[in-house]
Amino acid sequence: MILDKNGKIFGKVSIVDIAVLLVVALVAVGIFARYGSHITTAVQSQEDFRYVLKIEGVRQYTVDALNKKGAVTDKKSLKNLGEITDVRTEGATRESVTADGRVTYAPMPDYYTCYVTIDAHGKESEENYVLDDATELSVGRIVDLYSKYVKTSGMILSVDVIDG
């Protein structure tokens, strides 16, 4: 008999155990399908890129450190994310809501928003741009930025291919 009186197949494995394993396997496949990386798509070409990070709410010493420029890396891999070529700053503002529900932007004294331009080398695929260390460059992505002088993070505002 295949199924015994305790609900086990061949007296060894429960039907509930098989159902649980099947559900776990389906969830794992679903997670991989949803969040799996698209980096493995066919590489079309090697390119030089210029991307701009927006770093908000930093003090003067961070601005000074960014202005020293130089190579930047990623915290996790310590591989090259490119080289800072330009830093533009403006006064930082803070969003606040008034008592009557209006949204206002108040200046934050002694704080700055920096727009950091970085030149890097990587690959262009069908779907995105990828640096040599497999970091995807896409608008809206938050990137951790480490250099000899500064550790910060910012959001990618733009990515452009640099014409030779």
pLDDT tens-place string over residues 32-77: 777 665 554 555 577 888 999 999 999 999 999 999 998 888 776 6
Residue 128's nearest CA partner among 50, 39, 47, 61 is 39
Q: Which residue has the tokens 């130089």?
A: 70
Give the per-residue pLDDT at 156: 93
Which H or E element spans position 93?
A: strand 80-97
Q: Which domain holds residue 148?
A: 43-161
d(CA 46, CA 121): 8
Give the per-residue pLDDT at 89: 95
Contact (CB, 8 A) for 88 and 69: no
Are 24 and 87 part of one and the same domain? no
Are 63 and 12 part of one and the same domain? no
pTM of the predicted protein model? 0.67
| Distance, C-alpha 122 to centroid of its chain | 16
Are 60 and 28 part of one and the same domain? no
Are 27 and 105 part of one and the same domain? no
Give the per-residue pLDDT at 56: 93
Are 31 and 63 part of one and the same domain? no
Are 17 and 48 part of one and the same domain? no
Which H or E element spans position 158?
A: strand 151-161
Residues of the chain with pLDDT under 50: 40
Are 108 and 133 part of one and the same domain? yes
Are 24 and 47 part of one and the same domain? no
Residues facing residue 154 across a β-bridge? 143
Are 67 and 83 part of one and the same domain? yes
Are 59 and 82 part of one and the same domain? yes
Are 57 and 113 part of one and the same domain? yes
How many domains does the chain contain in total?
A: 2
Give the per-residue pLDDT at 130: 84
- Give one word for 68, left, alpha or beta, with left for phi > 0 and alpha for psi -120 to 50: alpha
Are 93 and 28 part of one and the same domain? no
Give the per-residue pLDDT at 74: 78
d(CA 61, CA 82): 22
Q: Which amino acid is at 139?
A: V
